[in-house]
Amino acid sequence: MKAIKNTLLAIAASASALCANAADNGLVRWPNEAADTVRLNTMLVEASALRPARPGEYVAWFGEKFLGTPYKAHTLEHAPEQLTVNLDSLDCTTFVETALALAITAQERRWSWRDFIYNLRRIRYRQGSVDGYASRLHYICDWALDNTARGNFSEVTNRFPKVNYAVKTISFMSENADKYPALADSATLANIKNVEIGYRNHRYPFIKTIDTSEKNTKAEFRQGDIVAFTSTLKNLDVTHMGIIVVRDGAPYVMHASLSAGKVLISETPLDKFLKRNRSFTGVRVFRLTE
């Protein structure tokens, strides 16, 4: 078995070297192309030996591959808009999207970085197509609606014992355009405003912080669930994301932490993590379709 695995890893490295400069590779922005394609293939080949009980276990497994990776914001903010793959530094969203795209690729029993690229693009961009800055799914409400409609994953918030609903007009980006260099362009700003129009008085489910302490709520979380932390801001739905890791029956959060400066697993369970972060009102939960 070890010999077979080593052979597969060698094939993965060789395939990456051959494919790295393929014509369609120009559509991807890589800080470290050669090393990253090999790393992606290696992780995917290693995952081929796994037989998880549920697809979400892939998400947690891949997420743990990035523990200790430095936190860095704004790694996607480059012009022109291209699919960016950065394995050396992550923010909360790129960490989740990277683990999720790898998990979907493994679930499909595909083991190439090209397949990962395909799935990352499907997750990150509206209808899976890169068409300028506004085609990126910046808001989690938009990300959730687009991805669940296309069957990339499911929202399971409503399956929990206690569910509440918030109604907000999502407009943070246009109201804070100075925070986003790309929005200095009037046409791009207009495109973002067009996206926001679809989220006026937007209603979405969430699990309140107080309810995450209940035993029956804790029991509903599964290894590899994606959690989106709902915001107290009046014009924004979500301000952070992470992956659930279940330990001794309790859900913990694996996430790219700004304060810690790296990807880590929270020292306290989810309910206590939420209580210590008063900018969160609760969580939405997403899960790979089983």
pLDDT tens per residue across span 9-26: 444 444 444 443 333 445
| Cut 0.95: pTM above it | no
- What per-residue confidence (pLDDT) applies to 26? 52
- What per-residue confidence (pLDDT) applies to 20? 39
Task: Identify the sign of the CA torsion 182, 186, 188, 190.
Answer: positive
- Tell me the one-letter amino acid at 285: V
**What are residue 55's DSSP bridge partners?**
none
pLDDT per position as a tens digit, 18-76: 443 333 445 899 999 999 999 999 999 999 999 999 999 999 999 999 999 999 999 99
Which burial class, exposed, middle or buried, applies to 278 when counting CB atoms under 10 A from its CB (0-12, 13-18, 19+)?
Answer: exposed
Q: What whole-number distance in Å separates Cα of residue 219 and Cα of residue 144?
A: 23
Query: CB-hemisphere CA count at 13 Å for 206?
Result: 24
Q: What whole-number distance in Å separates Cα of residue 69 and Cα of residue 85?
A: 14
Query: Which segments of the chain have a pLDDT < 70?
Result: 1-26
